[in-house]
């Protein structure tokens, strides 16, 4: 009777048993599908013909370098190969993938990459977990300063980064956030201003290229302005327009900036973390953001060439990015090797050719296409009028007033 009942209609029980079996199989097999970040990288097989003693991997590496490239010391090279891995925390789809794959091929070191979606979130995570085991993190100076003050960032061994020593621009090497590039190897510099779509905005508008266009010619783009969803950058536009430092902590100056932004508010389409799509769809005609990004966008825009980056004569907000090494990273030699590899002129040129950001490398001017060089290279005189965010702006009173303005603006 029991058997009969069982066969007759207990489909639910059957389903449950079948489901449990499927789940168990999933549990049993899925681990095999998971990427194995900790898997050991098999070093390239040794040549069957025993090379002469002086022809070891280090000698081959040194011999393979093109003119103008400097090798890391043997100690760094061998330690990096022993480490076998490099853990990088950076943006997705920004830098050329071949930089990573070529490094893996050349050194037999596996790169494990994780991507963040925002500097501030990554910073929060690193502050909450100071021993986070990343070797290299792409970060802005502000993050570097904060992490360094908490002992989370490790100092570079300059003997292990000879290409950086050789090619770093002297101005970049002595930045106030890290004199002597002890903790921060700069990689690029973004200029934050705005762009226009020349299909809809007259390139010869009398107020261009000044910030006055943004704050006084609102009828030209009303409802078609997109601003980066970034408190410091948005407020910096108004401060620059008014002729003030973007790092000011003067309440009166900040309130003037607030008034200008509140007047601009009705004309803003949105604050967006990712305004590219609106630009490409011609939904927005003026976009505040990193002007360097517009080269790539203008190439794929239909029709091409109508997106124009505007660098206002008042100067702009600079957003440098660099590599820092974290104390929790288990592969410090590989991290140094990576920086030295990156600073080879041909590699750095590959990077800048794709991202079109201003660069701290003195050896790549001739390697860049004319278009990218014209886009990325900024007149040093102009740079003097630009500023990066300083601690007084993002801490204490400076941060408090800006937060209040930001809340009001976004309300």
Partner 1 sequence: MKSRNITGKILPLVSILVYLFLWVAAIVLIVYSFSNDSFGIRWTGFTLKWYSNVFNDALAMGALKSSLFISSVTVVVSTIAGTLAAYGLYKYEFHGRRVLRMSTLLPITIPYVVTAGALLVFFTKVIHIPLGYPAIIIAHISFSTPLAVFVVLGRMARIDWTLEEASTDLGADGLTTWRRITIPLLLPAILSSAALIFPWSFNDFTITYFVAGVGTMTLPIYVFSLLQYSLTPVIINAISTVFVAVPVIGMLLMNFLQKKEVA
What single DSSP character describes residue 218?
A: G
Is 161 in contact with 353 (CB distance < 8 Å)?
no
Site string for partner 1, 260-289 (x = CB under 8 A): -------------xx-xx--xx--------
Q: How far apart are CB 140 and partner 1 at their closest, in Å?
A: 13
Q: How far apart are CB 30 and partner 1 at their closest, in Å?
A: 5
Q: Restricting to residues 294-333, name those near partner 1 by CB under 8 A.
A: 296-297, 300
Q: How far apart are CB 348 and partner 1 at their closest, in Å?
A: 18
**Pick from 335, 311, 337: which is nearest to 324 by CA?**
335
**Pick from 256, 261, 289, 249: which is nearest to 406 by CA?**
261
Question: H-helix or E-strand containing 129?
Answer: none
- Enumerate the H helices of 138-219 as residue ranges: 141-149, 162-167, 170-173, 212-216
Judged by CB under 8 A, the residue of 73, 133, 162, 391 near partner 1 is 133
The β-bridge relationship of strands 185-197 and 286-290 is antiparallel
Q: What does 135-159 look like in DSSP terms, one character per residue?
A: SEEEE-HHHHHHHHHTT-EEPP-GG
Q: How far apart are CB 334 and partner 1 at their closest, in Å?
A: 13
96 scored as a contact of partner 1 (CB under 8 A): no
Maximum distance among all alpha carbons in the chain?
A: 95
Q: Which stretch binds partner 1 (CB under 8 A): 21-29, 194-202, 219-227, 390-398?
A: 21-29
132 scored as a contact of partner 1 (CB under 8 A): yes
**Dist. CA 235–CA 247, nearest whole Å:** 10
**Dist. CA 254–CA 251, nearest whole Å:** 5
Judged by CB under 8 A, the residue of 44, 51, 68, 117 near partner 1 is 117
Q: How far apart are CB 48 and partner 1 at their closest, in Å?
A: 31
Judged by CB under 8 A, the residue of 1, 3, 34, 49 near partner 1 is 34
Is 377 in contact with 365 (CB distance < 8 Å)?
yes
Judged by CB under 8 A, the residue of 3, 7, 93, 411 near partner 1 is 93
Judged by CB under 8 A, the residue of 134, 172, 285, 375 near partner 1 is 134
Is 189 in contact with 358 (CB distance < 8 Å)?
yes
199 scored as a contact of partner 1 (CB under 8 A): no
Residue 256 CA to its chain's centroid (Å):
32
7 scored as a contact of partner 1 (CB under 8 A): no
Q: How far apart are CB 309 and partner 1 at their closest, in Å?
A: 16
State the first-to-last Cα distance of the chain, in angstroms, to the nearest integer: 71
48 scored as a contact of partner 1 (CB under 8 A): no
Q: Site residues (CB under 8 A) for partner 1?
A: 10-13, 15-16, 19, 23, 26-27, 30-31, 33-35, 37-38, 87, 91-94, 112-118, 121, 124-125, 128-129, 131-134, 273-274, 276-277, 280-281, 293, 296-297, 300, 355
């Amino acid at each position: 009777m029991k058997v009969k009942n069982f066969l007759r209609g207990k489909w639910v029980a059957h389903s449950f048993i079948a489901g449990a079996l499927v789940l168990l199989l999933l549990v049993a097999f899925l681990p095999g599908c998971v990427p194995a970040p900790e898997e050991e990288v098999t070093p390239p097989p040794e040549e069957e013909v025993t090379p002469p003693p002086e022809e070891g991997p280090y000698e081959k590496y040194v011999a393979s370098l093109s003119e103008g490239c400097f090798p890391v010391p043997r100690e760094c090279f061998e330690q990096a190969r022993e480490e076998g891995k490099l853990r990088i925390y950076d943006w997705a789809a920004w830098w050329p993938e071949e930089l990573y794959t070529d490094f893996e091929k050349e050194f037999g070191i596996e790169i494990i990459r994780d991507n963040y979606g925002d500097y501030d979130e990554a910073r929060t995570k690193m502050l909450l977990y100071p021993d986070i085991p990343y070797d290299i993190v792409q970060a802005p100076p502000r993050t570097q300063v904060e992490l360094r003050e908490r002992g989370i960032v490790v100092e570079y061994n300059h003997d292990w980064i000879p290409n950086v020593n050789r090619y770093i621009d002297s101005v970049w090497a002595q930045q106030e956030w890290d004199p002597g590039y002890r903790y921060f190897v700069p990689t690029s510099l973004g200029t934050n201003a705005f762009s226009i779509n020349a299909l809809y905005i007259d390139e010869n508008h009398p107020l261009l290229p000044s910030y006055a266009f943004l704050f006084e010619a609102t009828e030209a783009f009303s409802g078609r302005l997109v601003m980066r969803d970034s408190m410091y950058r948005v407020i910096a536009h108004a401060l620059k327009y008014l002729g003030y430092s973007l790092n000011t902590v003067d309440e009166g100056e900040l309130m003037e900036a607030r008034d200008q932004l509140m007047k601009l508010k009705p004309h803003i389409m949105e604050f967006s973390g990712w305004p590219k799509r609106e630009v490409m769809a011609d939904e927005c005609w003026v976009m505040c953001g990193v002007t360097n990004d517009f080269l790539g966008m203008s190439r794929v825009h239909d029709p091409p060439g109508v997106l124009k980056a505007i660098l206002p004569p008042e100067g702009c907000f600079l957003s440098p990015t660099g590599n820092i090494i974290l104390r929790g990273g288990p592969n410090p030699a590989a991290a140094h090797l990576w920086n030295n590899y990156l600073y080879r002129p041909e590699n750095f040129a590959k990077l800048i050719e794709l991202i079109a950001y201003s660069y701290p490398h003195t050896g790549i001017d001739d390697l860049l296409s004319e278009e990218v060089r014209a886009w990325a290279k900024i007149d040093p005189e102009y740079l003097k009028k630009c500023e990066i965010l300083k601690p007084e702006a993002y801490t204490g009173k400076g941060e408090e007033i800006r937060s209040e303005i930001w809340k009001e603006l976004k309300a």
